[in-house]
Chain A
Amino acid sequence: MLALNTLDLLTVSFIGGLLSLDNVAVLQTMLSQPIVAATLIGFLLDNTEIGLLIGVLLQFLWTSNVPAGAVVPPDNSVLACIGASAAILGAQFWNPSVAIFFSLVMTVVFAPITAWADAQVRQFNNQLALSADASALEGNFRAIPLKHLSGVLIFFLKGFILILSGTSLILLLEKGLLQVSSSVPFLTSEGFVRFARIFDTLFITLGIGSAIQLLRVSGRLEGFFAAFFLCSLLVEGLKLSPEASLSLAVLVPLVGQGIYRR
C-alpha cells in the first residue's frame, strides 16, 4: 500500500537535480525558477497543468529573499521540483486539490531545510578553495579547474537528495493519512476538498504579497491598485474576455503613469 513509484521518483529527482544547478552553480538562466522548473517536471510526469500551477504558486513566494552577499535564501528550484512531483504523483491516489494542498504546505515547511542544506554545501566548498590554494602553490594548475567543477557534483547531489527525500516524505505522509482516513473521515470529506480548493486558489496571494513588497517604489502601490480594480471591473462588470481585460488593465495605468517616457 505504501509503495511509491521508484522509477518516477528517481527520474524526477535526477532531472530536478540538474535543473537546480542553474540556481547557483552554473548558467543562472532562470531555468531553475519554479515557473519553468515545475512546468518541466509536470511535462516529465505527463501532467503539465498541475506542474504549471505549482510553478506559478511558488514563483513569487520567496521573491523578496534576494541572494545578496552571504545570504542563502530557500532553494526555490528544489522546492518547486518537490512541490510539482509530490502534487502530480499524489493526485494519482488522492483528490488533486488535496494533493496540491499537501504539496504546497510541505514545500513551505521544507523551505528552511533547503536553505540549511545549501549553506552546508557552501561550507563544504571552503575545502575546495583551500585545496586549490595548495595546488597553485605546488604548481599543479591543472588540478584547479577539476576542484572547482567538483562543486557542480556536490550541488547536484544536494538537489537530487533533497528532491528524492522531500517528495518521498510527502507521498508517504499522504498515503499514511489515507490509510487512517477510515478513523478520521474528515480527510476524505467533501468539506476538506472544498477547503483545499480555496486554499490552493488563495495561495498565490502569499507570493503576490511578497512580490509587491519587493517591487513597491517608495512605498507606492497606485499602479497595482489601478490595474487590479480595472481588470476586475472589465472582467466581472463588463464581461470582457480575461485576455482583453488584462491587456487593457495593463495598458491604461502604463499610459496614465507615463512610465514609457524617459
Chain B
Amino acid sequence: MQLNVKANQPERVDRLDLFRLIVRSFFLQASWNFQRMQGLGFVFALSPILQKLYKDSEERTKAFVRHLKFFNTHPYFASFILGAIARREERRAHTGSPGEEEIISFRTTVSGPYAAIGDVFFWGALRPLAAALGLAFIVPGGRAALLGPVVFFMIYNLFHLPIRIMGVIWGYFQEELVPQRLQQLNLIGLAARLRQVALIVLGAAAALTPHIEGVSWENHGLLLKLSAFLLILLFSELNRLRWSVHWQLAILAITSMILVHSLD
C-alpha cells in the first residue's frame, strides 16, 4: 500500500532520536509479560520516532499496532533490531516501502538468532567469567576482596554497554551489514574461549575458598579441601541430572554433619 507522503512530509530521524532510542532500550523489559514478552517495551523505545515520522493518525496507529505484537530477543541484542527498524520505518514514512509485512517479518526473523547469540555469549560465558574473576579477587581475603564486585561489574559492562549503544547505531546506519558484522565478531567462538578461561579461574579460586573472609578451615585443611573437591564434582553431576538444589542442599548438610563428627 502506498502512503500519502506528500500531504504531511515526514521528518528525518536525527542524532537526538537515536540517543533517545538508546536510553529507552534500557527499559525494554519494564513490562515484560508472557503474552507479548518485550512487545510493549519495543514500542516504548520506538515511540518518539514513530510519532515524529507518522503525522497522519491512521498511519501512526498502524505503526504502533504492528510493533505492539509479540517480540522477544536477548535484551542487549534488541538494540540492533531497534536501530534497523527505526531506519526501515523512516524509509517507509518517506517512500512507502518497505511494506508492513516486510518490517514485521524482519523483526521476527532476526529476533531468534540474536537471542541465541546473546544467551550463549552474555548469560552462558561472560557473566560466569566476570563472576569467576570477581571471586578470584575475593578468595585471598584482605582489603582487595572488596574489589571483587567492582571487577565483576566493570568487566561485564565493558562488553555490555558498547553492544547496547553501538547496536542501535550499527542497526540504523548499517542495517543490512549487521549480521555480517556480528559474524566477524564471532561471539559464539569467543564465548567458548571465555568459558574455558572461566573454568580455569574457577578451579584456581575453588582451591582457595578456605581463605574467604570470616570462614576458616580450622586445622583440617586437607580433609576439607578434598571434601570440597568431591562435592563440586558431585554437584556438577547432580546439576547435569537436573537434581533440585534442595536435594543438593540436604547432601551438603549431611556432609557437614559427618565432617563435624570426624573432626572432633
Assess the B203–A249 pair: CB atoms within 8 A: yes
Assess the A128–B68 pair: CB atoms within 8 A: no
Assess the A200–B215 pair: CB atoms within 8 A: yes
Select the stretch in B9-17, B30-38, B83-91, B174-182 that faces chain A.
B30-38
Q: Is A14 an interface residue, CB under 8 A from the partner? A: no
- Interface positions, chain A 145-185, Cβ under 8 Å from B, are 145, 147-152, 155
Known contacts A204-B209, A208-B232: A214-B148 contact under CB 8 Å: no
> Which residues from chain A contact B239 at a C-beta distance below 8 Å?
64, 209-210, 213
Q: Is B166 an interface residue, CB under 8 A from the partner? A: no
| Distance of A56 Cα from B208 Cα, bound (Å) | 13
In the complex, which residue of chain B has the Cβ closest to the Cβ of A249? B204
Q: What is the minimal beta-carbon distance from B186 to any residue of chain A, in angstroms?
A: 10
| Distance of A113 Cα from B144 Cα, bound (Å) | 35
Q: What is the minimal beta-carbon distance from B257 to any residue of chain A, in angstroms?
A: 6
Interface centre among A33, A129, A226, A230 (most CB of B within 10 A): A129
Assess the A250–B256 pair: CB atoms within 8 A: no
Contact for A52 among B30, B123, B149, B231, CB less than 8 A: B149
Q: Is A206 an interface residue, CB under 8 A from the partner? A: yes
Interface centre among B149, B239, B253 (most CB of A within 10 A): B149
Assess the A199–B203 pair: CB atoms within 8 A: no
When each residue 40-81 of chain B gets 1 if its CB lies under 8 Å from chain A and 0 otherwise, what string results? 110110010001000001001100110010001001100000
| Distance of A236 Cα from B221 Cα, bound (Å) | 9
| Distance of A254 Cα from B2 Cα, bound (Å) | 59
Contact for B208 among A70, A209, A245, CB less than 8 A: A245
**For chains A and B in complex, what number of residue pairs have CB atoms within 8 angstroms?**
337
Assess the B43–A148 pair: CB atoms within 8 A: yes
> Which residues from chain A contact B146 at a C-beta distance below 8 Å?
39, 48, 52
Assess the B216–A197 pair: CB atoms within 8 A: yes
Known contacts A126-B35, A211-B202, A250-B204: A148-B139 contact under CB 8 Å: no
> Which residues from chain A contact B39 at a C-beta distance below 8 Å?
129
> Which residues from chain B contact A191 at a C-beta distance below 8 Å?
260, 264
In the complex, which residue of chain A has the Cβ closest to the Cβ of B27? A26
> Which residues from chain B contact A149 at a C-beta distance below 8 Å?
27, 30-31, 44
Secondary structure at the B interface, as helix, strand, loop or mixed, is helix
Known contacts A68-B115, A128-B31: A246-B205 contact under CB 8 Å: yes
| Distance of A144 Cα from B201 Cα, bound (Å) | 46
Assess the B36–A141 pair: CB atoms within 8 A: no
Assess the A205–B30 pair: CB atoms within 8 A: no
Contact for A60 among B128, B160, B204, CB less than 8 A: B128
> Which residues from chain B contact A204 at a C-beta distance below 8 Å?
206, 209, 212, 228
Assess the B33–A202 pair: CB atoms within 8 A: no
| Distance of A109 Cα from B245 Cα, bound (Å) | 9
Q: What is the minimal beta-carbon distance from A171 to any residue of chain B, in angstroms?
A: 20
Assess the A212–B34 pair: CB atoms within 8 A: no
Contact for B33 among A62, A129, A195, A217, CB less than 8 A: A129
Contact for A28 among B76, B208, B227, CB less than 8 A: B76
- Interface positions, chain B 145-185, Cβ under 8 Å from A, are 145-146, 148-149, 152-153, 156-157, 160-161
Number of interface residues of A (CB under 8 A): 106
Known contacts A35-B149, A199-B253: A206-B136 contact under CB 8 Å: no
Q: What is the minimal beta-carbon distance from B91 to any residue of chain A, in angstroms?
A: 21
> Which residues from chain A contact B232 at a C-beta distance below 8 Å?
205, 208-209, 212
In the complex, which residue of chain A has the Cβ closest to the Cβ of B48? A145
> Which residues from chain A contact B47 at a C-beta distance below 8 Å?
141, 144-145
> Which residues from chain B contact A259 at a C-beta distance below 8 Å?
193, 196-197, 200
> Which residues from chain A contact B104 at a C-beta distance below 8 Å?
none
Q: Is A221 an interface residue, CB under 8 A from the partner? A: yes
Q: Is B6 an interface residue, CB under 8 A from the partner? A: no
In the complex, which residue of chain B has the Cβ closest to the Cβ of A229? B207
Assess the A55–B149 pair: CB atoms within 8 A: yes
Contact for B201 among A26, A227, A257, CB less than 8 A: A227
Q: What is the minimal beta-carbon distance from B50 to any residue of chain A, in angstroms?
A: 8
- Interface positions, chain A 48-95, Cβ under 8 Å from B, are 48-50, 52-53, 55-56, 59-64, 66-70
In the complex, which residue of chain B has the Cβ closest to the Cβ of A197? B215
Q: Is A98 an interface residue, CB under 8 A from the partner? A: no
Q: Is A15 an interface residue, CB under 8 A from the partner? A: no
> Which residues from chain A contact B200 at a C-beta distance below 8 Å?
223-224, 226-227, 249-250, 253-254, 257, 259
18 CB < 8 A contacts A-B = A25-B27, A25-B32, A33-B152, A39-B146, A59-B134, A63-B127, A124-B33, A152-B27, A199-B252, A202-B227, A204-B212, A204-B228, A209-B237, A212-B199, A223-B196, A224-B199, A227-B203, A249-B203
- Further 4 A-B residue pairs, CB within 8 A, beyond A28-B75, A128-B31: A136-B64, A191-B264, A197-B218, A246-B204
